Amino acid sequence: MLSAIYGAFADMPAIDKNIVSKRMVMVGFHATDYKDEELKELKQQIENGLVAGVVFYGYNIESRRQVKRLIAELNSHNRSFVPLMMAVDEEGGRVQRLTVDKGFVEEPTAQYIARHMTPDQAEKVYELTARDLADVGFNVNFAPVIDLNINPASPIIGGIERSYSSNVDTVVAYAKAFINAHRKYGVITCLKHFPGHGSSKKDSHQGFTDVTDTWNDIELEPFQRLISDGYADMIMTAHVFNGGIDPDYPATLSKKTISLLQDMGYKGIIISDDLQMGAIADNYSFEDTVKLAVGAGNNILLFSNYFFYEKRYPEKVRQVLGIQVN
């Protein structure tokens, strides 16, 4: 239930995931100043209930004070009782946007933490991160990565130490430490990348990534364990292609793949990885991407605006789906 995801908002009524699905687009933007003219359209989209939330990157963050003010300003345009998702990728190591030079606490890579700390020690480290996030207004962290380190040379997972381990028990233990720390500060976490990106030989940011011959169904186990134990606030899909599961589509666009989450008993929010990434954008039209992603079971479509900038994604998605734009 989404009421569990929004545990930080205890005074809010129970929230059904279908309500959030009506605001099915999350976008990025290119600004740091809340007065920037570039944000005018985004503020209007927020007021009109067209976005589920906003994702921030390093170029949006200059300092604690600046980003706190920016988040507060964007939130002030929300007219719905459903809180906006203010999201960031703050995994640690190479993937963190809140850095020391901007006034935040940095954390080591997942691999380093699993090798040098106990889960209890890791939880204390992650509490510092969660406190920083909550203090400036972030309520969603697109982490932890629970991909198994099947291929240590993977350019996007193992090669940059984003995986805790190749061992399921280890990944689950440290993921729970991460999630427990964030829950203490009311920050929603997101398990990624379903159904497993750790065996890949390529980076799905760059293009088509086929794991048919490297993927193993053991990569589903961290997801199953964390779902069963009540640790799945939100799940992000991967753009990997796995012909053993679906011979036609990559996971994000695959109903056969995403339905595996239902088989695991998961009933929460499913968000796509960034649909501007090469694995999707280089191989599918915008119209096909939207129709397939929604048809596959994604509740929220993520468009980072990192690779190229399109201000009207919320309206364009509705048009593709035949939903009236006010």
Active site residues: 205, 273
Query: What is the C-alpha to C-alpha distance for residues 318 and 320, in angstroms, rounded to an integer?
Result: 5
**For the chain, the helix, strand and coil percentages under 3-state DSSP, each to the nearest 5:** 40, 10, 50
Cα(129)–Cα(123) distance, rounded to whole angstroms? 10
User: Which residue reads 């300003």 in tokens?
Assistant: 73
- Cα–Cα distance measured from residue 189 to residue 235, given in angstroms and rounded to the nearest whole number: 9
Tokens 């380093």 found at: 112
Strand (E) positions, 100-147? Answer: 140-141
3-state SS track over 207-274: CCCECCCCCCHHHHHHHHHHHHCCCCCEEEECCCECCCCCCCCCHHHCHHHHHHHHHCCCCCEEECCC
**What stretch of H or E contains 26?**
strand 25-27
For residue 171, the surrounding DSSP H or E stretch is helix 168-184
8 A C-beta contact, residue 261 and residue 221: no
